[in-house]
Structure 1
């Protein structure tokens, strides 16, 4: 169902809500299709596997086996030794990406005819399984935007490196995958150009309303991870989504809209939520120690790659990439290639008509502060099924065995294609009537969307998988993602 907001927008949440309920903007559906086809013709990559020790521009350290770029920039693949006393698995070691520099993920927004639009980019990454995906206006590591690679400059970068004089709607450092990155974070930004002249639109960029982006978010491998995380940081919290929702909206969309209202009933106060997170960070003990890559237990070099002895988790492989439409036309790099498709799911339930998501205070070895809020279930099935039942994530069966009518969102999306080769995750929102007692599950709590959005105004509270699900849930206010990606 297509919904259109008709009331005027004044506050930022109202402007965001209007955009999320406006399915047509300055770019028509046909214009978008023509633009996307042009992006796919102009932007192509060809990736060829090469042994890790033959990557051009990369060196294997003689003593440690660590992989590093000869410039000393970009990132290093090294080892991590992890110890978690009392956990189901108390000790393991793994390769990890150490990329200490902070990148920029930025979206320009501007009103056209009173409706907020996002300037998105059609961008291809070497690890994408399907070529071009819809990306932020700017998506760049520090090494890229300072042009260590000697490539072309990045369009629109100036709005984010020096936003003084422009209105900033969001500006916060957020983590990336804590299982694969060592304390990696990016600056997530939304800069509003409303009232300013619209900048020239380069050929691989176009303006879309939030409703148009949300519709794309419901299709497989279309909206990339970096755009999803920035969208989740928008101040989408207030009474406006519910007030602006047309009368024909379904009950579930209305429950999602009410979940955005900071005045809506909650199971826990914000102070209680913050205390719970602090308690989880204090209660869980984890020690992550950097170690040489060539000394990892249960990992081995085989056929020019680094693989787990049981064939699980992921492989570290080398790729040589030839690309059209990129700042650099040819380069080589290591990539992490996950084994299997991931699963990230929120169980949700209505509390007094307000949708709440069951979040998990999850420990990951690469996080800055031990714990971040994660989906109810976050795993790769191949690592747990078959296997000892006691090692399976809590609520996994509740997600996998849910009746079709309880599945409110189901779509496979790609993770970041600049470091991960064909990394894909099935994102699910599953409605349940079952309650969860915090006394039985101390690492789980029911939170409405507005509390998650409040936490997203600050760094390192909500992990990247949960941020994707926040964006997916916001898309359901207008019905853009509902039922999409069912196949």
Structure 2
């Protein structure tokens, strides 16, 4: 018998506010476009099967994604070895944002898009948000609107085009092509789509869980506003040399393994869970949708067991704003360490682990006085694969650089330095990209 997924919206998400014409447009879009998910037994997945040899969850056509196992060794870490399920999606999707000037002001074509894993329903998404399986129509559904603008754009129209990593703790070497393309065409605005200015989008970031992860990631790839940059604490060459040094140390070693018999994990009728109930679980859902390419489907999803904390510490050095980044590796990363947030964790996961495993600066972020908190919002991660994956994103001001870099794996960098690295693949994590977009929303940075 199927068990219902709770549709109750956590209080901070339920409190999101979208006012005025945008609010009315959002509400109207929600009447046409929706997803409703209910939890089902793992064995009730349609179009999916459990591999007889490995126990992996695999789509019958070999499309979309699969759920397998990962064995991780961390010789210098507080937990030297562990095993976990991981999502395999060996294809590159497109996250595309279309830009057009109206009256000399750049506007971005956004869409109101629901995903089955969203905690609050409809979210603001980029113009195109599609896996390769989606845009090659492996699902047998409708074609993806506006896709032609991103398949073979003119080099002169490209503002950004770079493959970026996604959550390396849950995905195995997952990448998406983040694209921003300028157009001068008369583009028909389909239902559920709307041209918006960057200040309008930025204004929605703090309104609750409105701007989705994919939109935040693509927006981070916009060039920063022109103007005096000031001198950073470290030159770009020094940052690259430091990161290369971190990447050259002995680090995480990973190997894919069967999901069946994964140490520390067990399968029930409705989930694959860790033995002590921490970290996350793999569940199955049936989805019914309106206004989507497909009206009904079933799929596995990853459901985190707790709310995460992702934060930048922020300061001014010789008058120049800097944020503290952490060079850290995740088991699913493509190229060892990437630059991530100062703090990036789910605090509940550290119960029972050695004290040395507790993330540095977590207490400083969680217990910051209100007048030090520059940005604070509960935002969700990608709702197509993750179910109610909520993180509290914060930017917290501190006085001066002090000894924050003493551990060796942290450095103060500027917004421009982060953007310079974002022009290349696998330097800046998706969590840090979200925080960069949040940081720009505070300064009113215009771009494109």
After TM superposition, the score normalised by the length of structure 1 is: 0.86
Q: Is it true that 1:92 corresponds to 2:82 in the alignment?
A: yes
Match in the other structure for 2:26? 36
Alignment of 1:48-447 (within 5 A): 48-164=38-154, 167-193=157-183, 196-239=184-227, 261=228, 263-385=229-351, 388-437=354-403, 440-447=406-413
**Residues in 1 aligned to 2:413 and 2:149: alpha-carbon distance in whole angstroms:** 34
Are the aligned partners of 1:335 and 1:420 in contact in 2 as well (CA < 8 Å)? yes
Match in the other structure for 2:35? 45
**Residues in 2 aligned to 1:346 and 1:179: alpha-carbon distance in whole angstroms:** 19
**Residues in 2 aligned to 1:163 and 1:48: alpha-carbon distance in whole angstroms:** 39
**Residues in 1 aligned to 2:154 and 2:138: alpha-carbon distance in whole angstroms:** 25
- Larger deviation: 465-474 or 49-58? 49-58
Give secondary structure in 1 for the equivalent of 2:84. strand
Alpha carbons of structure 1 residues 476 and 317: separation in structure 2 relative to 1, 3 Å: same
Match in the other structure for 1:258? none
Are the aligned partners of 2:301 and 2:385 in contact in 1 as well (CA < 8 Å)? yes
Residue ranges of structure 1 left out of the alignment (5+ in a row)? 1-27, 240-260, 481-487
Are the aligned partners of 1:64 and 1:292 in contact in 2 as well (CA < 8 Å)? yes
- Larger deviation: 438-447 or 327-336? 438-447
**Residues in 2 aligned to 1:469 and 1:202: alpha-carbon distance in whole angstroms:** 30
Give secondary structure in 2 for the equivalent of 1:294. coil
Are the aligned partners of 1:237 and 1:453 in contact in 2 as well (CA < 8 Å)? no
After TM superposition, the score normalised by the length of structure 2 is: 0.93
How many residues are aligned here? 429
What's the offset of the Cα at 1:220?
A: 1.1
Give secondary structure in 1 for the equivalent of 2:189. coil
Are the aligned partners of 2:284 and 2:301 in contact in 1 as well (CA < 8 Å)? yes
**Residues in 1 aligned to 2:334 and 2:402: alpha-carbon distance in whole angstroms:** 28
Residue ranges of structure 2 left out of the alignment (5+ in a row)? 1-17
What's the offset of the Cα at 1:115?
A: 0.4
**Residues in 2 aligned to 1:272 and 1:284: alpha-carbon distance in whole angstroms:** 21
CA RMSD of aligned residues (A): 1.6
